[in-house]
Amino acid sequence: MRRPPRRPFAPGRCAFSREDCMDPWLQQLTAWLPSGGPYYVLVGLISFFESLAVAGIFVPGSVLVVFAGFLAAHGKGAYAPLVAVAAFGAIIGDLLSYWLGARFGGVLRNWPVIQKRQETLHKAEVFFLEHGGKSVFLGRFVGFLRPFIPFVAGGAQMRPPVFALFALISGILWGLAYPGLGYFFGTSWDLVKLWTGRFGLFVAVLTLLLVIYIWFWKSAVPRLYRLWTRSRRRAGLRWARLQRRRPLATLRDDYPAIYAFLADRFTLRSGSGLYLTVGFGFSTLFAILFFWLVGAINLQRTLAAFDLPIYRMMLDLHHPATDRLITAVTCLGDWPVLLMTTVLLVVWLVLFNRDFSAVIVAVGMSGGYLLVVLLKRLFDRPRPTPFFEAIDPLSASFPSAHAFLVLILYGLLVYFLLDATREGQSRFHLVLGATFVVLLVGFSRLYLGIHWFSDVLGGFALAALWLTFLVTAAEMRRRYGGEFPWRPGVQLLHLRRPWRTLVLGMATLATLGGTAAYILFRLAGL
């Protein structure tokens, strides 16, 4: 069943005052709060303590000031006085923090509450050293730095007139922005409820997935790598001891050809050694996973049983704001965008005389596309009913071509960029960003109702199998070029570095422009 067409949201007007139109819980809250001058003093004190060194650590002033703006939209106070007291409290808090840092910085640093936050204080000091006076302005809008930057500026003996100017400008802008944000949302409480309904659920789900994802790469992966390193070291020691024992010694002496063949499968001296063995092992693992998914779909068990509940859950997550965003994300896996990105990657590799790598990309993407098309026709699994009539693919459902091709393209891109990136933190962020984009594209297929959950998993599993084959071939060629029928890297283009940079820059701009134009075209058709 298709989703009914949406009607534009048009909240009705209230015939009474804004206070009479409040929800009951808002009326109870505003009745509990003071009125008139004491209320504005309370907001000013919140803004003041939120900006004050040490105290600002514990006072969630930004959230409370935004909420005060929301209440102002419903008649609790006026917006203009609210802006005035919020800005005034922020400026006074910054000035007092500066004075404390200048007069008592050394003493206050020894307080236990600051000792426990030395890392945050150090970040504020680095931020101040990098940006100078601008840090006072910028730090006002960075939550964890806000109570520390004025304190650090005072300790660094920043000139008082310069600090006062930056504090004045940032305090006024902060006083306008934060209450204004709450006031903007508060002008239509029905709109707020809509945003905090399905949209809030979507954000909560996405945030949870993002937290799990970051934890996996920052905590689980390093632990798994250390475990792998220890296991590899122990395996090497056990293999050395095993070679000295009688059964292997007998095999080596009596059947030297068989022993040499087995030993060569785990050596780094030849291309058909350890790299090929590991590649074959991972390919076998991903092949088993893919065919297990095929069996699960045919028998409607295990993961396939989650298809319909997840499909229904995706329907509840929809919101006009996210519909267009997710549609733009799924366009990253459409064939025009993939083709432009693939051509850009091939151009980059050819410009820097990596001809075999360019062949790997071209064969990997074109061969992978043919493979996934053949498997779609072979399995011929019906798609779920899409949630939008404008997005209704004609091909079969399993496996997901978007999930497959995006993982292949970004996997190869990361593989080649890792070779050009030496710094560990940059490599980590490269892998983190690429895998997040791939997972987001896979999620977009579920969100739009175009694929079942098992379709996306099948696409990823098949892509991992194909990607393992491609990376193994590329790695063997890179390390053991002499053992293969292909010639070593041939310099196809004789261009100087400035010309190569110019050509690559133009190709990048063309790809970005074409991608943006295609996404806008797709969004216009919704």
Give the H/E segment covering residue 417: helix 401-420
pTM: 0.53
Burial 160-195 (b: 16+ CB within 10 A, else e): eeebbebbbebbbebbebbbbebbebbeebeebebe
pLDDT at 399: 86
Decide if pLDDT at 448 tops 80: yes
Distance CA 450, CA 400 (A): 9
Give tens-digit pLDDT for 34-93.
878 888 888 888 888 887 776 766 666 677 888 888 788 777 778 788 888 888 988 888
Distance CA 97, CA 56 (A): 10
Residue closest to 471 by CA, chosen among 307, 249, 204, 280 = 280
Residue closest to 397 by CA, chosen among 511, 269, 245, 293 = 293
Give tens-digit pLDDT for 100-153.
877 776 666 666 666 666 666 667 767 776 666 666 777 777 666 677 778 888
User: Could you tell me the pLDDT band of residue 454, with boundaries at 50, 70 and 90?
Assistant: confident
Distance CA 415, CA 412 (A): 5
Distance CA 364, CA 215 (A): 31
Decide if pLDDT at 522 tops 70: yes
Number of Cα atoms under 13 Å in the Cβ half of residue 196: 8
The domain spans of the chain are 24-187, 265-524
Give tens-digit pLDDT for 331-371.
888 889 999 999 998 888 888 777 778 888 998 999 999 98
Distance CA 314, CA 322 (A): 12
Decide if pLDDT at 521 tops 90: no
Q: Is 398 left (phi over 0), alpha (psi -120 to 50) or beta?
A: beta
CB 86 within 8 A of CB 71: no
CB 47 within 8 A of CB 86: yes
